[in-house]
Amino acid sequence: MTELRARAELWLAQDPDPETRAELSALLDAAAEPLNNTAEPLSNEAKPLDGGAELRDRFGTRLAFGTAGLRGELGAGPNRMNRVTVMRAAAGLAARLPAGSGVVIGFDARHNSRRFAEDTAAVVTGAGLRAWLMPEPLPTPVLAFAVRHLGAAAGVMVTASHNPPRDNGYKVYWSDGAQIVPPVDREISEAIDAVGRVDGLPLGEGWTVLGDEIVEAYLDALGVLPVADADGLKVAYTPMHGVGRDVLLRTFERAGIPAPAVVAEQAEPDPDFPTVAFPNPEEPGAMDLVLALAARTGADLVIANDPDADRLALAVPTRDGGWRALTGDEVGGLLAEHVLRHTSGDDRLVVTTIVSSSLLGAIARGHGVRFAETLTGFKWIMKAEGRLVFGYEEALGYSVGAEGGVIVHDKDGVSAAVAAASLTSEARAQGRSLLDLLDDQARRYGLHATAQLSIRVDDLSLITDAMARLRAEPPKEVAGRPVDAVDDLAQGVDGLPPTDGLRFRLDGARVVVRPSGTEPKLKCYLEVVAPAGDDVDAARARAAADLAALREAFAGLLA
Ligand SMILES: O=P([O-])(O)O[C@H]1O[C@H](COP(=O)(O)O)[C@@H](O)[C@H](O)[C@H]1O
Ligand SMILES: [Mg+2]
């Protein structure tokens, strides 16, 4: 405790933010008072602040680069997102970059995002490097694009994407416009550890604030071709209280697609995300308002972005007058064939991750193009070598390319939305829907049905324990299916770098279990593959039942 207290006091002395300083002073005071553990508070009374536990949680460890950079709760201490954490990260990054190079910095509309972006600019310029700052909260893909467009050595996007309002985060891009992977993330981490006190860092002022030309350049680069037959296409859209709306409306206008109806309550950026429990289109209820708007306006297609607009979720009208949300894998399969129909050459490469559907591999074989599978996280997709025309992951992330390959080297929920609208209009012109196209794919490639089980925890050790238990005693049979093989991803499989996770190969099914790298969750990715037969609806119903059984079995194993 003395050691933690010393760390906390050192932190307090250098923290430029009065809010986190006040919070930490209160914690230090509370930690000095021994807790009276004999008197348990009644459940409806506020729990006394356990200063010791809080200090341990904040100062016992620090935020590390996960699936998408640093991400965590706002608050004081190295295991939280705050101005000191950000300045240290910026100084570590700057130390790893060559003299004379530049960093482009973007931010979303979350609490403190602009502040963190400006702190980053001050540290980067103070280190003698050049910095460009985005003019306003903008989508993550615009930042990813800007890195290569400006010839920057690195990029930073201050965002916690779709996490709860109390979180923020820091995505770091390298000069290739993709998020960092080992060994660069490790090298930056080491450089961060070597940073001294942040109140000793030289701070600069001369950064360049970019103008709207950066958005124009992004729109030009997407070069969306006018979409045929889009007249009368009705789209309902939500940016989920995030930053997607304006750029998305501009891309639609350029592509000649009628402007979507936008959910009024979620149209403006709002860091508190007041109308949703979690601002993640994957979470139950997050799409309710846009589905209601779609019903009112008779939409052909429902589109949601996550708050930093790098994810895309779709829903479509069903034959019986309802709505069906498509999974990331379904959208991935549909967009993949859309891209493959509009590009040519057998050197084309399509890529997905080991937790996504195996359908993309089947599509690639069907079209005679190259296919690769990478670790989870879009950063890995972008590392695949070749003429990448399409990459996607089940977590609603897509990079849609043209003849010359993908333009944005990260997932892009804006250009993917245009592609989805374009695909819908093409189908519509032939009297068909996205559901018809999904049935075509099931008939051609077999039905690939996927689902996810995601277990949110308060205490991360529950995840470590569950993984250890599963490794020690892997099941021999799950939901009546024999387990053919268990691959421990920590050993590195299929030539992939080692990562925490287990893959179960079952008869006609595949399950991957891994801890999330962005949220306190254990994730289980389920896939069932079966022939579609003559009756695709019946095959879907069977697959759904099989997935439900697998889900239940794994929920039991992981409980
Ligand atoms: O948050 P976003 O939209 O940037 O999305 C981030 O998190 C997703 C989930 O990662 P995990 O399963 O480790 O939580 C990743 O698939 C994605 O590549 C990453 O950019
Ligand atoms: Mg996102």
Residue 75 identity (one-letter amino acid): G
Domain boundary among 429, 444, 459: 444
Q: Are residues 421 and 493 in the same domain?
A: no
Q: Are residues 122 and 74 in the same domain?
A: yes
CATH code: domain of residue 249: 3.40.120.10
Q: Are residues 327 and 348 in the same domain?
A: yes
User: How close is the Cα of 9 to the center of ligand 2, in Å?
Assistant: 35
Q: DSSP code of 50?
A: -
- Residue 179 phi/psi, 5-degree rounding, is -70, 150
Classify each residue of 392-422 as buried b or exposed e, where b means 16 or more C-beta atoms within 10 Å of its C-beta: bbbbbbbbbbbeebbbbbbbbbbbbbbbbbb
Look at residues 536, 526, 534 and name the one whose alpha carbon lies nearest to residue 505.
526
Q: CA 447 to CA 531: how far, in whole Å?
A: 6
pLDDT over 90 for what percent of the chain?
Answer: 92
Q: Are residues 324 and 253 in the same domain?
A: yes
Residue-wise pLDDT tens digits, 507-559: 999 999 999 988 899 999 999 999 998 899 999 999 999 999 999 999 999 98
Domain that holds residue 126: 64-222
CA-based torsion, 520, 525, 526, 532: positive or negative: positive
461 is annotated as an active-site residue: no
Q: Are 177 and 408 in contact (CB under 8 A)?
A: yes
**pLDDT of 459:** 92
Average pLDDT over every residue of 418-433: 96
Question: Residue 469 contacts by C-beta under 8 Å, 6 or more apart in sequence?
Answer: none
Q: Are residues 410 and 359 in the same domain?
A: yes
Residue-wise pLDDT tens digits, 243-296: 999 999 999 999 999 999 999 999 999 999 999 999 999 998 999 999 999 999
Task: Return the best residue to mutate from 185, 329, 518, 519 for the ligand 1 pocket (most ligand atoms within 8 A of CB).
Answer: 518
Whether residue 107 is predicted with pLDDT greater than 70 in this model: the reply is: yes
Residue-wise pLDDT tens digits, 115-161: 999 999 999 999 999 999 999 999 999 999 999 999 999 999 999 99
Whether residue 67 is predicted with pLDDT greater than 90 in this model: the reply is: no
Q: Are residues 213 and 313 in the same domain?
A: no
Q: Are residues 39 and 159 in the same domain?
A: no
Q: Are residues 303 and 245 in the same domain?
A: yes
Average pLDDT over every residue of 208-233: 92
Residue 489 identity (one-letter amino acid): L
**pLDDT of 46:** 54
Q: Are residues 216 and 275 in the same domain?
A: no
Q: Are residues 277 and 391 in the same domain?
A: yes
Q: Are residues 240 and 99 in the same domain?
A: no
Average pLDDT over every residue of 392-397: 98
Look at residues 297, 330, 293 and name the one whose alpha carbon lies nearest to residue 313.
330
Q: For residue 218, what are the CA distances in angstroms to 209, 312, 386?
A: 16, 18, 23
Q: Are 185 and 96 in contact (CB under 8 A)?
A: no
Q: Are residues 70 and 47 in the same domain?
A: no
Task: Return the best residue to mutate from 378, 456, 516 for the ligand 1 pocket (most ligand atoms within 8 A of CB).
Answer: 378
Residue-wise pLDDT tens digits, 25-37: 999 999 987 655 4
Q: Are 354 and 374 in contact (CB under 8 A)?
A: yes
Question: What integer best gives the mean pLDDT of the chain?
Answer: 95
- In order, the DSSP letters of 131-195 are EEE-SS---HHHHHHHHHHTT-SEEEEE--TTS-TTEEEEEEEETTSSB--TTHHHHHHHHHHT-
Strand pairing category for 70-73 and 481-488: unpaired
Domain boundary among 421, 444, 467: 444
Q: DSSP code of 358?
A: T
**pLDDT of 38:** 46
The SS3 of residue 30 is helix
H helices then E strands: how many in the chain? 17, 21
Question: Residue 31 contacts by C-beta under 8 Å, 6 or more apart in sequence?
Answer: 1, 5, 51, 52, 54, 55
Beta bridge partners of 514: 523
Residue 358 identity (one-letter amino acid): S
Q: CA 235 to CA 224: how far, in whole Å?
A: 18
Domain boundary among 222, 246, 271: 222
Nearest CA to ligand 1 atom 15: 377
Residue 71 Cβ contacting ligand 1 at under 6 Å: no
Nearest ligand to the C-alpha atom of residue 524: 1
**pLDDT of 52:** 87
Residue-wise pLDDT tens digits, 169-181: 999 999 999 999 9
Domain count, the chain: 4
Residue 377 Cβ contacting ligand 1 at under 6 Å: yes
Q: CA 171 to CA 193: how far, in whole Å?
A: 18
Average pLDDT over every residue of 447-473: 96
pTM: 0.94
| Planar angle of CA 189, 193, 197, nearest 5 degrees | 135
Residue-wise pLDDT tens digits, 354-377: 999 999 999 999 999 999 999 999
* H or E stretch at 294: helix 288-297
Q: Are 328 and 356 in contact (CB under 8 A)?
A: yes
**pLDDT of 66:** 85
- Structure-block tokens of residue 531: 């022939």
CATH code: domain of residue 474: 3.30.310
Question: Residue 134 contacts by C-beta under 8 Å, 6 or more apart in sequence?
Answer: 104, 105, 106, 107, 117, 142, 143, 146, 210, 214
Whether residue 430 is predicted with pLDDT greater than 80 in this model: the reply is: yes
Residue-wise pLDDT tens digits, 114-126: 999 999 999 999 9
Nearest CA to ligand 1 atom 11: 516
User: How close is the Cα of 409 to the center of ligand 2, in Å?
Assistant: 14
Residue-wise pLDDT tens digits, 301-352: 999 999 999 999 999 999 899 999 999 999 999 999 999 999 999 999 999 9
